[in-house]
Structure formats: structure tokens, C-alpha cells
Chains A and B, each alone.
Chain A
């Protein structure tokens, strides 16, 4: 078989394989390694934060409030740009988009390489920023004037450049995904037949290409305000700090959908596979994601209800934000309808996906509360907001990342994951994060503001509970590291398709682990009947 022999052709050895890689699977692996590494750092920072907040009064950061702010900033930036995005987009996207559309690689393999290494450079800059002068204590939003006149040290410049590089990395990656998905699909794999993970990656990439340049513009103006005497955001020179907030959130709100759309895609695949049914309402799911992507660009100022926006603006942004609940609801109900009538196997990936559905719903409904501009006088910048976005991201995106990890790890490594430890990992995480974040709703309602290293004594009880949850999460991270060790030391190997008839997309047709080169010959997809992941002639 010549095709089989070609599977390992031109495979460089040693460091060249990784540093100079143009192979989508190797680059995907690099992204995943970076994500896990940054994830351990980001999680360690959050445990430091919870340790400081465990009791009222300063625990171990006495007179180091600036360092606390640096920790808060680093936690946010690391989790968004160096954990969630590299895992969901760079990692799973690189690995599985070409496999799912029957393409041999990404459209621009060298661009793919620079995308990854720009991100690695960005991470270096970010870590450096925390150690230069007093570090960036601005929050991940980098609002001026705190980020300009409020932080004279070069730490903030390093953080801004880190975000710049991470943004460039994302845009290049997104261009690659869009080109790949539009041009390299196997024959008869029409757009409406594309698996939902591929659709989610396409829409996420479009959001990135449209949103990141706005961030880049805002960050560049910050840099020149800081270093070259411009006054884009300084009222003394005719600028306006609120202008920055508009620019930031015009990027920042699509950014949250950039993080969650790939999660939607993964959950759809996992739910369909383990209920042994095609996804319910494939078209409706695509339209729902499109609607979320479009509306996601029209709601940015709901992050700014208290800046003194005029009432018409607040009414509009309230209405537009409420609308997002409709397509999101369509997705939740379609997942449940997929499970309905299925033959459900409660394997570890499905546990994470079910956890995602429920916890994302909880985070979604508190989003409906926060959408009401009128309630912002009680909730804006409170711990209620912290609870909300950790429910959709820490318990949403991260649960989907683990669903994808357990779902595809056999395909990526050829080795099985330990089922029992996987379950333990799930339950520890589920209990830990809920115990951490659910009480934050209460703190926020009672009036505890964000980004403080100390709080009034009345909040002691719920903070103690939240920190206890964090210690359970520490245990879950350790269990995950044991899971990783067990996977990579396993002697058994998994079949091409370990999940049976429910796993229908093309990545399950290639061997496990997926060979270095796949689909060097185009796979055949019939015009009719429809592929198995669709239920009918869609």
C-alpha cells in the first residue's frame, strides 16, 4: 500500500520536528502542550487568589495589593489567551478540522507554524511583564487611565505587546482555518453537511478576523498614549477613557463567543456520539451559531452600563443582549433532544459534556439577569459578574475542553485514558468549581466588588466556602496530571474508532494514533445518502 508507506514521509526528527513543524497534528499538539502548561500556571494563580481571599484581612499579601492586582490580571490574560483559545482553537482545531473535512493539512502550513510560535513568544512577554517594574495591575481589560498614567512602569508595555502578539497569532490562525474550511473540503462535503465542530471553528475564525484588529487598534493607541504623548484616551488632550472601553468590548464581547463556539462544537459531537444518534437539528444548530456570532458583535456596551451611557443606549444594549438567549436556548434544547431517544453511554467525555450543558445553562441564565441594564446598579463589577463568567468559561469552556480531551485523546495518542480516574477527575472538578463559584452569586448580590484583595467581614462565610471549593479543584488538577501520566505510560492501544457506531465523523476513519500524514488521497463522500453524522439528505 503506497498510501500507507507515505504516511510517515518527510517526518523530521528531533527538535526540527517541533520548531520547524508545518504538520497540522504536530502544531495542534504544540498548542495543547502550551495550553496545559499555561493552564497549570493560571490555575496556580487562581489558587493564590483564593488563598488570599480565604479569610477577611490580608493573609500573605500584606502591603502587596499591587501584586494581587498583577495576579488578577495574569490569571485573566493567561486563561483567555493562553489556555482556552490555544486548546480549543489551536489545539483541537488544528488537529481535527483537516481530519473532519478530509484534507491532508491546513491550507497554509508555514503560516500555521508562525501562528503557534507567535503565541509562545507572547507568553514569554506576558510572564516577563509581571516581573518588570510593578507589573501590570490593570485587570485583563487594561482600562486607561489606570493602564496609562496609573502605571508608569514598562510592565504594562510588555503586557500590551504580549496581547498584540497573541492577537496576531490568532488572526493568522483564523485566516488559515477560514481558507482551509472554504477550499479544502472533500468533494460532496457541502457547507450544510459540515460537522458542527468545523462550523464552530469557521465562525470563531470569522469572529477573530473581525474582532482582533479592533483590539490591536485600541492597544496601539494605549501604547502611543503611554510612550509617545498622544491623548486618545486622555481628556486633557481631547481624548476619552470611555472610548477605549467601547473599542475593547467591541473586541471583548465577540471574544467570549470565540471561546465558547468551539466548545459548542465539541459538545455537539460528544453528545451525538454517546447517545448513538445524529445531532438533533443540524441546520438549526448551524443557524443558532451564526446568530450568536452576528449578535455577539452588537451587544458590546452591556459591559459598560455604568459609564454614564445615555438611556437609549442602555435600552438597546439590554434588548440586544436578551436576544442572545434565544439561539443559546436552541442549542441547549437541541442537545437535550439529541439525547432524547438515544442509547446513552455515560463515558467520561459525555460526563463532561453533560456537565457543560447544565453549568452553561446556569451561567446563561445569570447572563439574562446581567443583561438588564437597570440591574447594573446592583450587579456591575460585583462578584455576581465573576460568578457568571466563570460559570460560562471556567465551567463551560473548560468542561468542553476536557470533554474534547477525553473524546479525542485516543485518536491523538493511540492510547486509552483511564476510565475510573477520568470519572474521579470529573466529579472532583464538578464539585470543586461549583463550591467555588456558586457562593459568588451571593457575595455579589450582597454587594462585594470585584478585584479586591480584602473584603468586609460580612463576606467571610461565603469566601471560606469558595476557597474550600478551590482546594478541591487543586485535587482535581493533580488527578488530571495523574491521568496524563497514565495515558502516556499506557501499553494498550485503541482502535481507529473506540466509540462504536455513534462516532461517525471522518477522524474516526483513520488509524489511532492518526498517522503523520492523513488523507493524502481524498476520501470519498457520496452525494447520496448523506454522511452518517447527518440524519437525512441535508
Chain B
């Protein structure tokens, strides 16, 4: 399932001078990774704010506990009080937390709506989770490839272990990237902490997320949903480059892809599931008429609209339908 020709590796070398940012964990780090996208900036801000509140609450409780242990221990206070009610106190410790939580909820809701609202996208990235690698596609650019983990003994100097994929997702800096995610076997989750993206890839569903990288650099991620034996070995590398470098990469990638249409993707569904005769447009647009060309996997993202969409399992594997189902 390796990508053709190791183009990713070559590219890493070519683009290396542009790297100014490394979105990855550091030894002894105790906080969130620095924000590299607008959404993550908001996440970092909200987390910092809530963190102050909760540290205050925890210190208050710890202080009160320490005080009562010191002040009301049996030696210092041999006779216990008998009161067990204080209506005003009970109202206060109900109402004050409500106010604090409201003060958390308002910015929290704002963040949720902001994450949900995807600005007009400059680029669409399709992500498909597999056991145990990622497939990527840029539908508008006709690019698609798989990304596997680089094993420890094949790492180049400076490449982090378990975080290095053999093909980075290259995106232009400053552009809005819409991410569409699905999976073809079990659940996975596409998570890149510094970009504030973490969305499950679910078989049979198409999820959507977005990011906009502020600075050129390498941003590392991983699969965040238990997906079986090699769950820990599904790294993600997002490489943000200036627009010119991105265009160069697109050209290089297209050239690398063209010599062989077989780019390693297993067929997602049998082409025979489509019926060109009942749908002439399929025949016309997709130059896949029987007899002209052998059947095989579709040219991924060749601009055709396929039905069923690729995230539906091949009919050959589809179990019998339930009565009434």
C-alpha cells in the first residue's frame, strides 16, 4: 500500500527550508500544543480560561478541607456543634456554581458554533480510515494516495517515531481546507492536535471538519479511536507550505500518479454495481463503457460522481437485508 515512487520522501527534502513550525508534543510538555489554526486558537483560549476556574475551585476545596481538619479536630474542638442547616449557605453554593457554569457555557457555545461553521473552502481533502493506514484524496486536483507509518528502522534523522507517515498531507498555508472523512472497515478518528481537528471516521457516514493552517510547518497527528492491532501506528503528517510550493507539489504528485493508475487502493466497490445502460450519463462522463476499457477500480476523483458513493461497502460483501429493512 506504499505510495508510488516514494514521492513523499523526495518532497519532504525539497520543501524542508519552508518549515518553521513543528506541531508535535515535546518532552515534559504539560499543556496543549500551540495553536496553528483559528479553531485551535479558540480551543487554547477557552481551555486556558476554564483551567483558571477549575484550579480556583480545586484550591478552594483543598483549602477548606485543610482548614476544617486543622481547626475542628477533636483536640482543638472537643465538643461538636449541633447545627446542620443553613439555608442561605445552601442557596449560595447552588447559585454561585450556576453563575460560574454560565460564564463557562457562553464562550463554550460560541466555540462550538465557530467550529461548526465552515468558511467557504479553498480546498477539499478526503480522508478515509483503513486498518491501518489513511487514504487521502484531493478530489478537485485529481490526487490520491495512501499514507502508512514509517517503521522505526527506516526513519530519517529528525523524524519523530510513531508520528512519521510515508506521505504527508500537503496543504497551502492560509487557505481553508474542508476535510471530509469516512472509513471503510472500522471506526478511526483523524486527529491533528495543533490544528484543532479530531473527527471520527465512521463507515457509512461522511463527516466534515475544517482547518486553516496559519504558518508553514509540519503538524503531526494520529488515529484517536481504537481500531485494532495497529491502532497506535496510524500517524498523520500535515505539511503546510506556501501556495507556490503547493502548486509544485500538485504537479509532481500528478506526474508520479499518472504512469500507473493502480495507486494501491483496493477497489472500494465493483464497477459492475453501476449500470451504464440505465444511466447514459455515467457512460458518457466516465469513459468506462464496457468493452472499451477493462473493468477495474475507478480512477479516484476523476471528477465523476459515483453512486453508490465509495463509503458504501461493495455489494458483494453486503449482508442479506433484513425483512422490511
A: residues with CB less than 8 A from B are 56, 65-66, 69, 137-139, 143-146, 149-150, 229-231, 234-242, 275-282, 284, 306-308, 311, 314-315, 318-319, 322-323, 325-326, 329-330, 332-334, 336-346, 354, 357-358, 361-362, 365-366, 368-369, 372-378, 380-382, 441-442, 445-462, 534-536
- Chain B residues within an 8 Å CB radius of A378: 32, 40, 43, 47, 193, 196, 198
Contact A315–B193 (Cβ < 8 Å): no
Known A-B contacts A311-B116, A369-B54; A145 and B203 likewise in contact (beta carbons under 8 Å): yes
Q: What residues of B have a CB within 8 angstroms of the CB of A361 in the complex?
A: 57-58, 61-62
Interface pairs (8), CB distance under 8 Å: A65-B229, A69-B226, A236-B313, A281-B84, A308-B205, A365-B54, A373-B112, A445-B31
Given known contacts A149-B185, A318-B105, A458-B24, A240 and B204 CB-to-CB distance under 8 angstroms:
yes
Contact B224 A380 (CB under 8 A): yes
Given contacts A237-B321, A458-B26, contact A535 B85 (CB under 8 A): yes
Is B143 an interface residue when CB atoms closer than 8 A count as contact? no
Q: Within the complex, what minimum Cβ distance (angstroms) separates B25 from chain A?
A: 4
Tell me which residues across on chain B come within 8 A of A372, comparing CB atoms.
46, 50, 104, 108, 111
* CB-CB contacts below 8 Å: B36-74 with A: 39-40, 42-43, 46-47, 50-51, 53-54, 57-58, 61-62, 64-65, 68-69, 72-74
Which residues of the partner chain A approach B62 to less than 8 Å between Cβ atoms? Answer: 358, 361
Q: Give the chain A neighbours of B72 by CB distance below 8 A.
A: 275, 339-344
**Chain B residues in the interface with A (C-beta under 8 A):** 24-33, 39-40, 42-43, 46-47, 50-51, 53-54, 57-58, 61-62, 64-65, 68-69, 72-74, 77-86, 89-90, 93-94, 97-98, 101, 104-105, 108-109, 111-116, 131, 160-163, 185-187, 189, 191, 193, 196-200, 202-205, 207-208, 220-232, 311-313, 317-322, 325
**A375 to B84, Cβ gap below 8 A?**
no
Q: Which residue of the partner chain B has the closest CB to A534?
A: B84
> Is there an interface contact between B80 and A343, defined as CB atoms closer than 8 Å?
yes
B65 touches A279 (CB 8 A): no
* B-chain residues with CB within 8 Å of residue A330 when the two chains form the complex: 90, 93-94
Max chain B Cβ within 10 angstroms of own Cβ: one of A65, A235, A361, A373: A235
How far apart are A427's CB and chain B's nearest CB, in angstroms?
A: 15
CA distance A536 to B87 in the complex (A): 14
Residues of chain A with a CB closer than 8 A to B24's CB: 447, 456, 458
- Name A368's closest neighbour in chain B (CB-CB): B54
Complex contact A236–B25 (CB within 8 A): no
Give B315's nearest chain A residue, CB to CB.
Answer: A236
A453: chain B residues within 8 A (beta carbon): 232
Measured in the bound complex, the distance between the Cα atoms of B65 and A342 in whole Å is 12
Number of contacts between A and B (CB, 8 Å)? Answer: 327
In the complex the two chains form, is B112's CB within 8 Å of A374's CB? yes
- Docked Cα-Cα span, A184 to B160, in Å, equals 65
In the complex, chain B residues whose CB is within 8 Å of the CB of A275: 72, 80
| A-chain residues with CB within 8 Å of residue B31 when the two chains form the complex | 442, 445-446
- Note all chain B residues with C-beta closer than 8 A to A357: 61, 65
CB-nearest residue of chain A relative to B199? A306
Identify 6 new A-B residue pairs, CB closer than 8 A, beyond the known A375-B43, A534-B84.
A69-B231, A242-B205, A308-B199, A339-B72, A344-B73, A456-B162
CA distance A452 to B189 in the complex (A): 14
Q: Do B186 and A236 have beta carbons less than 8 Å apart?
A: no
Question: In the complex, are the beta carbons of A308 and B224 less than 8 A apart?
Answer: no
Inter-subunit contact B322/A230 (CB<8 Å):
yes
Residues on B with beta carbons closer than 8 Å to the beta carbon of A241: 187, 202-205
Bound-state CA distance A492–B320 (Å) is 69
Question: A322 with B101: in contact, given A308-B200, A342-B77 (CB under 8 Å)?
Answer: yes
Cβ contact within 8 Å between B29 and A382: no
Most buried by A among B24, B62, B73, B101: B101
